[in-house]
């Protein structure tokens, strides 16, 4: 899907596919693979070098064009939302696997939503099962794309965000992105940096001891 999105004429931007280094990259697990078939069409870039139509290319430009290019990037980012949806729909039609901006787990009646990315989002799903066994109606939202940042509907729910990142002097990037786009006051947990072990039991603990609006560095600045 990344190729289709990146090469779409309305986007033409690189797509970065991320995975948790060491944690996912070194875990051996069964994967279902699908033959790509004709899902990815031959590459056709509108500005590819064509010797029959010589043109000048330069990585450098002056201010009169530069700022316009910046706008073009942002316009492509905005258009990418729709392109991603179209490509995902086509993928679902061809391969029977449907995704979306978020992977939702037991969210229908959830009173507390755990929002995370990557393996932490998957670990959160196990935490949700544990929390529900203990009478806490939790659900998990795992973001599948981060930019353009998807609009999430978390109305009426408490939110616990787990960031395996930090923007120094500002906050957890996911928590801050969420607060900027969705009316919510998340409990922001910073955890797992540098390979710190974060278990589903730890995540269940974050939820049990959530303090809306506050930030907590797991294992570093004391107990919640």
Partner 1 sequence: MAMFEIRIHSRGGQGGVTAARLIALAAFYDGKQATATPFYGAERRGAPIVAFVRICDTAIRTCCQVKEPDLVVVLDPTLLTTVNVLKGLSPGGTVLLNSPHPVALDSFRTVTADLTGIALVLDLVIAGNPVLDTSVLGALAKIGVITLDSAKRAIAENFKDPRNVAAAEKAFSEVAA
CB of 84 within 8 A of CB of 8? no
For position 24 contacting partner 1 by CB under 8 A, the verdict is yes
Longest Cα separation, the chain: 69
Stretch in the footprint of partner 1 (CB under 8 A) among 22-30, 33-41, 63-71, 213-221: 22-30
Rounded to whole angstroms, how far apart are CA atoms 32 and 132? 29
Whether the CB-CB separation of 167 and 173 falls below 8 Å is answered with yes
Binding mask 161-200 for partner 1 (x = CB under 8 A): ----------------------------------x-xxxx
- Per CB under 8 A, the list member of 125, 172, 174, 175 interacting with partner 1 is 125
Q: Is 30 in the site for partner 1 (CB under 8 A)?
A: yes
Considering beta carbons, is residue 106 or 176 the nearer one to partner 1?
Answer: 106
Query: Would you give the end-to-end CA distance of the chain in angstroms?
Result: 40
Q: How far is the CB of 198 from partner 1 (least distance, A)?
A: 7
Q: In sequence order, what are the beta bridge partners of 190?
A: 163, 217
Instruction: Mark the segment that binds partner 1 (CB under 8 A) among 3-11, 17-25, 109-117, 160-168.
Output: 17-25
Should residue 18 be labelled a site residue for partner 1 when binding is judged by CB under 8 A?
no
CA distance 188 to 199: 17
Q: Identify which of residues 26 and 44 has a Cβ nearer to partner 1 in the complex.
A: 26
Quick count: other Cβ atoms within 10 Å of Cβ 137? Answer: 14
- With contact defined as beta carbons under 8 Å apart, do 128 and 140 qualify? yes
Q: Are the C-beta atoms of residues 199 and 192 closer than 8 Å to each other?
A: no
Q: Nearer to partner 1 by C-beta: 165 or 197?
A: 197
- According to CB under 8 A, which one of 14, 16, 22, 33 is a site residue for partner 1? 22
Position 123 contacts partner 1 (CB under 8 A):
yes
Structure tokens given for 219: 């294992």
Angle at 34 between CA 33 and CA 36, to 5 degrees: 130
Segment contacting partner 1 by CB under 8 A, of 80-88, 120-128, 154-162, 164-172? 120-128
- Interface with partner 1 (CB under 8 A), residue total 19
Choosing from 6, 13, 23, 77, the residue that interacts with partner 1 (CB under 8 A) is: 23
**Assigned token pair, 116:** 């995370």
Half-sphere CA count of 74, side-chain side, radius 13 A? 6
Q: Which residues bind partner 1 (CB under 8 A)?
A: 20, 22-24, 26-30, 119, 122-123, 125-126, 195, 197-200
């Amino acid at each position: 899907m990344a190729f289709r999105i990146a090469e779409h004429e309305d986007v033409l931007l690189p797509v970065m596919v991320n995975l948790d280094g060491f944690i996912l990259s070194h875990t051996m697990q069964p994967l279902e693979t699908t033959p790509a078939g004709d899902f990815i069409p031959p590459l056709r870039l509108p500005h590819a070098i064509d010797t029959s139509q010589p043109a000048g290319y330069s990585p450098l430009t002056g201010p009169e064009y530069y700022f316009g290019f910046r706008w073009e990037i942002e316009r492509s980012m905005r258009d990418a939302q729709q392109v991603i949806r179209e490509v995902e729909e086509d993928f679902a039609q061809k391969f029977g696997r449907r995704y979306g901006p978020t992977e939702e787990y037991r969210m229908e009646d959830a009173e507390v939503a755990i929002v995370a990315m990557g393996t932490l989002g998957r670990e959160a799903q196990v935490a949700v099962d544990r929390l529900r066994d203990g009478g806490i109606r939790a659900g998990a939202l795992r973001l599948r794309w981060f930019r353009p940042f998807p609009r999430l509907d978390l109305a009426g729910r408490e939110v616990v965000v787990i960031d395996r990142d930090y923007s120094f002097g500002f906050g957890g990037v996911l928590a801050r992105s969420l607060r900027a786009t969705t009316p919510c006051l998340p409990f922001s947990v910073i955890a797992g940096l540098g390979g710190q072990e974060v278990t589903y039991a730890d995540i269940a603990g974050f939820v049990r001891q959530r303090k809306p609006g506050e930030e907590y560095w797991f294992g570093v600045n004391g107990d919640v």
